[in-house]
Amino acid sequence: MDTKVLYVTAIAIAAVSGGYYYYSGKGKKLEADSARSMNYSAENIHLTQTDEQGKLYIRAQVDRLEQDLQQKTSKLDNLQASVYKDGKVDATFLAKVANGYNDNEKVVLKQKVEATKLLDSGKMVFYTDELTAFPKTREIQTDKQVIVESPQAQFVSQGLKANLNDGQYEFFNIRGKYEP
């Protein structure tokens, strides 16, 4: 057999197998790309999270979670969360719907939102339709109407900005009663 025919046959076999390998690999790559953009969901979730020192930071319960890993967003139904400080419950949050953005750096609570801050003299409860929380900085804010109930006061505010770390609260257009 002539070596020229042998070389041509080898090149033809290499071209066919190389083409098959190239195109079959590209198909697998497309499958992997589409799998990466999948949304995940789960039901009846119980979450316990600790901080960098290993202390309890948050406990939450959610009826349903939908998460988009590519967009780094999440949607939670019927959120019940407790935030801890020095091993004790410091604040609680309830909402029918919560949307998390950028791996939950920002969480928007919606529909029958109730946020409670535990104080030495009792508790301060905020009722609103929408509340934006920043878990890492422990700040909350809204431009919606907020009903505030505390041991000393009951009032309505058209908006709120609060830092749960140092207890600084800013209310807007307040109407209500205060009893020192």
Residues 32 and 43 in one domain: no
The answer to whether 157 and 146 are in contact (CB under 8 A) is yes
Residues 60 and 13 in one domain: no
Residues 166 and 155 in one domain: yes
Ranges assigned E (strand) in the chain: 39-50, 56-68, 73-85, 88-101, 106-119, 122-134, 139-149, 153-163, 168-171, 175-178
The boundaries of the domain holding residue 76 are: 39-178
Mean pLDDT of the region 167-176: 84
Residues 43 and 26 in one domain: no
Residues 73 and 90 in one domain: yes
Residues 55 and 24 in one domain: no
pLDDT at 77 over 70: yes
pLDDT tens per residue, range 84-102: 888 888 888 899 998 888 8
Q: Name residues whose C-beta falls within 8 Å of residue 38's C-beta, 6 or more positions apart in sequence.
A: 69
pLDDT for residue 23? 56
Residues 69 and 83 in one domain: yes
pLDDT at 129 over 90: yes
Residues 120 and 57 in one domain: yes
pLDDT for residue 140? 87
Cα–Cα distance measured from residue 66 to residue 81, given in angstroms and rounded to the nearest whole number: 17
Residues 71 and 16 in one domain: no
